[in-house]
Structure 1
Amino acid sequence: MLALMIGAFASTGAAQAQSAAAEGQKLAFDRSKGNCLTCHVIKGGNLPGSLGPELIDIKSKYPNRADLVAIITDETLRNPLTVMPPFGRNRILTEKEIEAVVDFLQTL
């Protein structure tokens, strides 16, 4: 019985993570929200920009999830000369939306 409950919980957790990543992808590709494609090449995205780095292999580049959240929230704290918009500070994305975008980026 306990094994079934643990298996069901693990399955639910994986489904929720996949759902959050799918929501994050929508936000990242949405030209009126995350708008990541304006500056970044992202697999599966149309008409990407080239101002920022290509977003690939993100989980190995940023193994600490909090670093990636901080970059999206307000990269000017780390790099005052960045052109990366402060999505959190300017309330372009909510904390929940930033978490979803990070979920998506970590799948790349």
Structure 2
Amino acid sequence: MIDEGKKIAFDRKKGNCLACHQIEGGDLPGNIGPPLVAMQTRFPDKTKLRSQIWDSTRNNPNSMMPPFGRHEILTEAEIDKVVEFVYSL
């Protein structure tokens, strides 16, 4: 599931996490968002990480991060896979 999540996260037409985040192994990362490192320390509760990916504007109305779940950019299953990948970083 982690490998599938990485594919989605790195896919420029899907997750496109690299547009804003530095991620180990990613080419041409952006610097708008924080680097995705030590994610288990930053999000000890994985459900909060999922919530952040689903709709970051719930915690920060000024967030530039797309609400991947609320806007149906990714399916629920795709979000679950991305969460597993990001949580492994």
Q: TM-score interval w.r.t. the shorter chain?
A: over 0.9
Match of 2:67 in 1: 86
Bigger relative contact order, structure 1 or 2, given CA contacts below 8 A and separation 6+? 2
1:52 is the counterpart of 2:37: no
Match of 2:43 in 1: 62
For normalisation by structure 1, the TM-score amounts to 0.81
Which of structure 1's runs of 4+ aligned residues deviate more than 2 A?
A: none
Mapping of 1:89-100 within 5 angstroms? 89-100=70-81
Q: How many correspondences in the alignment?
A: 89
Unaligned runs of at least 5 residues, structure 2? none
Unaligned runs of at least 5 residues, structure 1? 1-19
For normalisation by structure 2, the TM-score amounts to 0.98
CA RMSD of aligned residues (A): 0.5
> Quick one: distance in 1 between partners of 2:57 and 2:23?
22
Shift of 1:77: 1.1
State, as a whole percentage, how many aligned pairs show the same letter.
Answer: 52
Q: Which amino acid aligns with 2:26?
A: G
